[in-house]
């Protein structure tokens, strides 16, 4: 008989609705009961002029590299390309190469954009991509990203001599819907809250306050984060972080959860 390490635990998944299912499936396979509390919602930026122009150039194969750092970017790319009527057949046939941060992003690129990923760095951070890419001086790089993306990757690529077209492709807003998590906190039947980015942390606190809750409700709850930057964001909000995944993927997060609760049992 297979032992399910998370059996009976009520775990809050704070990812955006579009991203949540992959993590939920992993948790439910381990016997957990998942509560959904979307803290992030992805929206196009108010002014898409620059983004649209860059997509037109992408459709014409005018970039050496397309860099995609998150699944959110993939979804926005797919949606906007469809709206503009731009097919990616020319991209797949051109010299444009595709780089991704994270296996989930790579999988989404294959599924949503039907493009082959040429580069996937070993570490799931943008800084590793800057090192792995090894761009030649004058290379044209298209980097669609969040409106609040850190400038680390852009700076590294420009130092290497690349011509970087960094464009705000989407913005994040506080999510809505899902389960009534404040009520579950009051009832004391939440065991774990999961965070997969700094944005999920910040928006979780904002949403909880807007729904008459506060960080103190998590005093007896296990807080698990996908990596050190997410954990740092949680600690800044005085959330009690017990678990930081060593492998910065949803699979790694679930494995760290399993190890934590196995040791307690």
Structure confidence at residue 1 (pLDDT): 38
Phi, psi of 101 (to 5 degrees): -105, 110
pLDDT, mean of residues 207-234: 94
Structure confidence at residue 134 (pLDDT): 79
Mean pLDDT, the chain, whole residue set: 91
Q: What distance in Å separates the CA atoms of residue 70 and residue 105, rounded to the nearest whole number?
A: 5
Torsion of the alpha carbons at 234, 237, 240 and 245, rounded to the nearest 10: 0
Q: What are the DSSP E strand ranges found in 9-50?
A: 10-13, 33-36, 40-44
Please write the tens of the pLDDT for every residue from 9-52.
Answer: 999 999 999 889 999 999 999 999 999 999 999 899 999 999 99
Structure confidence at residue 192 (pLDDT): 98
Q: What distance in Å separates the CA atoms of residue 58 and residue 52, rounded to the nearest whole number?
A: 10
CA angle 128, 132, 135 (to 5 degrees): 125
Q: What distance in Å separates the CA atoms of residue 204 and residue 211, rounded to the nearest whole number?
A: 11
Q: Is the pLDDT of residue 125 over 70?
A: no
Q: What pTM does this model have? A: 0.80
Structure confidence at residue 145 (pLDDT): 94
Please write the tens of the pLDDT for every residue from 195-217.
Answer: 999 999 999 999 999 999 998 99
Q: Which domains does the chain have, with CATH numbers?
A: 10-39+175-264 (3.40.50.10090), 43-173 (3.40.50.10090)
């Amino acid at each position: 008989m297979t032992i399910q390490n998370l059996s009976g635990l009520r775990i809050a998944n704070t990812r955006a609705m579009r991203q949540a299912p992959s993590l939920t499936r992993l948790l439910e396979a381990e016997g957990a009961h998942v509560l959904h509390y979307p803290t992030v919602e992805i929206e196009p930026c108010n002014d898409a002029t620059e983004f649209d122009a860059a997509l037109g150039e992408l459709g014409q194969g005018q970039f050496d590299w397309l860099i995609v750092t998150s699944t959110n970017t993939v979804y926005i790319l797919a949606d906007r390309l469809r709206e503009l009527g731009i097919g990616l057949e020319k991209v797949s046939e051109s010299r444009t190469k595709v780089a991704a941060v994270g296996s989930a992003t790579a999988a989404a690129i294959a599924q949503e954009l039907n493009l082959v990923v040429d580069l996937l760095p070993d570490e799931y951070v943008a800084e590793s991509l800057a090192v792995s890419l090894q761009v030649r001086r004058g290379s044209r790089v298209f980097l669609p990203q969040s409106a609040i993306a850190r400038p680390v990757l852009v700076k590294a690529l420009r130092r290497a001599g690349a011509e970087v077209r960094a464009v705000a492709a989407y913005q994040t807003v506080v999510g809505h819907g899902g389960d009534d998590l404040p009520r579950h906190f009051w009832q004391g039947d939440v065991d774990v809250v999961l965070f997969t980015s700094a944005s999920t942390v910040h928006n979780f606190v904002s949403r909880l306050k807007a729904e008459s809750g506060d960080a103190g409700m998590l005093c007896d709850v296990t807080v698990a984060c996908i990596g050190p930057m997410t954990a740092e964001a949680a600690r800044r909000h005085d959330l009690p972080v017990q678990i930081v995944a060593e492998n910065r993927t949803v699979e790694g997060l679930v494995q760290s959860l399993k190890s934590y609760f196995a040791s307690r049992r």
